[in-house]
Structure 1
Amino acid sequence: MVSSKGVANSKIDDDDGGGDKLMRKVLGLGFSVQGFRCFPWLVVSFFLKDGLNVNPSTLQILLSSANLPMVGKPLYGLVSDSVYISGQHRVPYIAFGAFLQALSWLAIAISPSSISVFTISIYLLLSNLGASITEVGNDAIVAEMGKQPPSSTKHSQQPSSSGNLQSFVWIASSVGGVAGNLLGGIFISRLSPQSMFMFFGLLVALQFFITISIRESSLGLPKNPSIGIKKQLSELSAALRKPKIAYSISWFALSYAVVPLLNGTMFFYQTQYLKIDSSVLGISKVFGQATMLLWGVIYNRYLKSISPRKLISAIQATIAFLMISDVLFVRGFYRQMGVPDTLYVVIFSGFLEVLFFFKFLPFTVLLAQLCPQGCEGSIMAFLMSAVALAFIVSGYLGVALASYIKITGSDFSGLSLGLVIQASCTLLPIFWSSCIPEYVKTKDKRKD
């Protein structure tokens, strides 16, 4: 015989468990599609180089500038936190972001191959605007669930307090990245760029229709009272004045901004000078995304207990080490040892490209623990905005460095020196890594 109280508790457990499963499906879809964005962006680089004949500096400026909408993430986060649409403040924004992405990529797909650089730049900006709005909604859900205590029931388990949910979405994004780069590498020489843009446009259109069919109340999100944007801005300002949050975000953004990236130059070096096939670059990116997937599993199982400061500093040092390895690669050291250029590009270049993002997983887990209740979306959006701005600065510094040491699309004699400077700048943030807390304790969150 089962009491009515037991039946009620069982029903609550089932509802919570169903909400957790649906939430994971929504986040899994959202992050995997965002990871799959590398599929059209891989084509964009070749389309700009071969179709529109841009030089390395112009390519890097265009790709860096396309991230400008990401800088507006705090605004999107404030609106998402405080403005509800039909009683919802996460799902509608995710859907709207997917709609903008579908609109932009489908517009590029139906445009003539003689599209101007200015026009495609506008479409790419619109695409990243949609992506940034979607990411704000998804990140806010992860941050909100990350603040919930583990459930005491066996049927309903809130997994995110120990970083499990962050690892889950990291893995979902990596799976999307692996699929996107693998398919991109296979089809880039078999299909026209417009066909690949059309495919991704239809994919995000599908995400839009799936998302609008879901009610946010079914996800089991915590109930936060709706407050105005002015009040939300005040709370965000107060949160950012907390030393642990302010110093951590400042360090994280500067760790990217001080590094002059030479991605555009390296892309031209590999494709123009070494004549490496586009499919090899696709496989390289697949390898990199696979390591990101593996990193999510390893972190979740073995590394969560390690101090964030030590772990992030170790990643920073590893990035610098692999940049020095690139110097040896450009000077032909590995080639003389019998290592083919294609093998190095697949393994080491692919790994280095994604290693920059390894810091995100431990840092977002840390920040989710630091940020106050109610402004998770705003804090996470501010972080991603700061990082986006840092990448733009980094890209422009890379263009300035390439110009200073006279690297062009046909002359790569100064590339080794540029990589040495890049590696040296990468080591600098380690010297002020004390800005990152060693550990976060529950009592610290109430006092700070």
Structure 2
Amino acid sequence: MITLSLQNNLYLVFALLLLIGGSAGAAVADVTIDACVTENSISHPSLAGDMQSLCGLSSSVGQLIGYAISGFLVHHIGSKGVFGLLSIPAGLVILVGIIIQEPFIRNFSYKRVTQKFLDAGRAMWMALKCSVIWRPCLYMYLSLAVSLHIHEGMFYWYTDAKNGPSFSQEVVGSISAVGALGSLLGVLLYQNAFRSQPFRRVLFWAQLLYGTSGLLDLILVLRINLTFGIPDYVVVVIDAAVSHMIGRLKWMPLLVLSSKLCPSGIEGTFFALLMSIDHVGSFSASWAGGLLLHTLNVTRTTFDNLWLAIVIRSVFRVLPVGILFLIPSNDPNAAILPSEMLRAKKGDDEILEPPVNMEMASLVNNIEA
């Protein structure tokens, strides 16, 4: 990021490689944290929801701060200056990695890395063949793939449409900040009201509300709000807060479920695989949404059929309700995987028993010990 901010005439390929490297570094740190959270979720099933809520809370706070100042910073110091500031979080991650004390593994054989990689691959394949794992994975992919993304059409309607709101960069940044605040509220709502509810029940209502919330864009595009004297910015802010809050409510149970689907010994790798499935689902939704906009002839200057795209997107968001049978219906605080997949890493034959009535403070004390 520092190189991007200081150099004026970078080759495009080199600039892309720098961006890819930055994303790869963030992904490595993310997978490491996911491995720690997943490992503790397996050994302490009753705290899986608390740990995912804590991670979601931290992520939402970071998004709120970033979106709140992004438009202001781009306007005053430019995009290159923002790239320079983005090097600060990476430096903080390096600092945390230096401060954290970990036990040193002696006599580690680097020659066995290939064998360990192959063993992890076989373990992942065996896990994916288990019905309690591949069924939720299929649901996660399909539920994301049918949630069509038409953000590009809405963005251009916000900024370029003749009869649209004509929002500026700062206004769009503030809208994103409100969306991050909605995500934060969604995490708090899940933690305090829905954490102990069955996955199917939470996802059922979340999918219905997710589809309904998409119709707020329809009110804006058809200019119904102006008929009642409601400003465009008010509708957009409400839409951003509500849609992100419901989206987080829909996403939190899937994160908790994903952490419970990772076999012991390959927690980080398998959780990364599950997140990759989710990313492929989001990628499919982006392509499908782009195809929908192209089919309806919604472009940067033409928005006649944007309302129809919104209606189709809202209907597709409700479709995952029909495949909720793929999600486990048991207690969300209990272990889901078969006992043979929950054996301790050290090769002993003892099964990790789920603790009963354990508080977060006890977990912290155990980790520090």
How does the TM-score come out when normalised to structure 1?
0.68
Report the alpha carbon displacement of residue 385 of structure 1 after superposing the two structures with TM: 0.3
Paired positions, count: 327
For residue 79 of structure 2, the aligned residue among 193, 200, 203 is 193
For 1:127 and 1:317, locate their aligned partners in 2 and report how far apart those are by CA, in whole Å: 37
Deviation at 1:139, TM superposition (A): 0.8
Q: 1:192 offset after TM fit, Å?
A: 0.7
- Is the CA contact 1:370–1:445 (under 8 Å) kept in the aligned structure 2? no
2:350 match: none
What SS does structure 1 have at the residue aligned with 2:214? helix
Residue 99 (structure 2) pairs with residue 213 (structure 1) = yes
Give the 5 Å matches for 1:93-242: 105-112=1-8, 121-149=16-44, 161-217=47-103, 228-242=116-130
Q: CA deviation at 1:434?
A: 0.8
What secondary structure sits across from 1:216 in the alignment? coil
Q: Secondary structure, in 3 states, of the residue corresponding to 2:229? A: coil
**Aligned-partner Cα distance in 1 for 2:299–2:62:** 34
Aligned partner of 2:286 in structure 1 is 395
Contact 1:257 1:391 in 2 (8 A): yes
State the AA in 1 paired with 2:55. Answer: V
List aligned pairs for 1:43-442, cutoff 5 A.
105-112=1-8, 121-149=16-44, 161-217=47-103, 228-273=116-161, 274-353=165-244, 355-440=246-331, 441-442=334-335
Question: Hey, what's the Cα distance between the residues in 2 that align with 1:444 and 1:382?
Answer: 17
Structure 2 CA distance for partners of 1:257 and 1:126, relative to 1, 3 Å? farther
- Contact 1:256-1:391 within 8 A present in 2 as well: yes
Partner of 1:228: helix, strand, or coil? helix
CA RMSD of aligned residues (A): 2.5
Give the unaligned 5+ runs of structure 2.
105-112, 342-369
Cα 1:360–1:217 change in 2 (3 A) is farther
CA shift at 1:369, angstroms? 2.6
CA contact (8 A) 1:284 1:347 kept: no
Q: Assess if the C-alpha contact under 8 Å between 1:328 and 1:334 holds in 2.
A: yes
In the aligned structure 2, how far is the partner of 1:350 from the partner of 1:122? 35
CA distance in 2, matches of 1:117, 1:143: 38
Label 1:442 to 1:181 Cα distance change in 2 as closer, same or farther (>3 A).
closer
- TM-superposed CA distance for 1:297, in Å, is 2.2
CA contact (8 A) 1:140 1:376 kept: yes
169-178 vs 372-381, which moves further = 372-381
Give 5+ residue unaligned stretches, structure 1. 1-104, 151-159, 219-225
- Alpha carbons of structure 1 residues 352 and 321: separation in structure 2 relative to 1, 3 Å: same
Q: 2: distance between equivalents of 1:164 and 1:259?
A: 27
Partner in structure 1 of residue 353 of structure 2: none
Aligned counterparts of 2:4 and 2:238: Cα–Cα separation in 1: 32
Relative distance call for 1:443 and 1:364 in structure 2 (3 A) is closer
Matches of 2:340 and 2:99, distance apart in 1 = 41
Which residue number corresponds to residue 42 of structure 1?
Answer: none
Pick closer, same or farther for the CA change 1:443–1:257 going to 2, 3 Å: closer
Instruction: Report the CA distance between 1:178 and its aligned residue.
Output: 1.0
* Equivalent residue number for residue 109 of structure 2: none
* TM-score, normalised with respect to structure 2: 0.81
* CA distance in structure 2 between the aligned counterparts of 1:443 and 1:128, rounded to whole angstroms: 32
Deviates more, 1:320-329 or 1:437-446: 437-446
Indicate conservation of the 8 Å contact 2:132/2:337, yes or no.
Answer: no
SS in 2 for 1:190: helix
Are the equivalent residues in 2 in contact too, given 1:175–1:289 (CA < 8 A)? yes
Q: Identity over aligned residues, as a percent?
A: 24
Checking the alignment, whether the CA contact within 8 Å between 2:133 and 2:261 is kept in structure 1 is yes
| 1:316–1:427 Cα contact (<8 Å) kept | yes
TM superposition shift of 1:353 = 4.5
Task: Please report how far the alpha carbon of residue 141 of structure 1 lies from its aligned counterpart in structure 2 after TM superposition.
Answer: 0.8
Partner of 1:445: 338
Q: 1:240 to 1:143 in 2, by over 3 A?
A: same
Give 1:272's aligned amino acid. D
Asked if 1 retains the 8 angstrom alpha-carbon contact of 2:258 and 2:274, the reply is no
Equivalent position SS for 2:137: helix
Alpha-carbon distance, 1:444 to partner: 5.9
Q: Work out the CA distance in 2 between the residues paired with 1:443 and 1:424.
A: 31
- Residue 128 of structure 1: CA displacement? 2.5
With over 3 angstroms needed to count, the CA separation of the structure-2 counterparts of 1:124 and 1:271, relative to structure 1, is farther
Aligned AA (2:6):
I
Is the CA contact 1:369–1:445 (under 8 Å) kept in the aligned structure 2? no
Is the 8 Å Cα contact of residues 31 and 268 (structure 2) preserved in structure 1? yes
Question: Bigger shift: 286-295 or 415-424?
Answer: 286-295
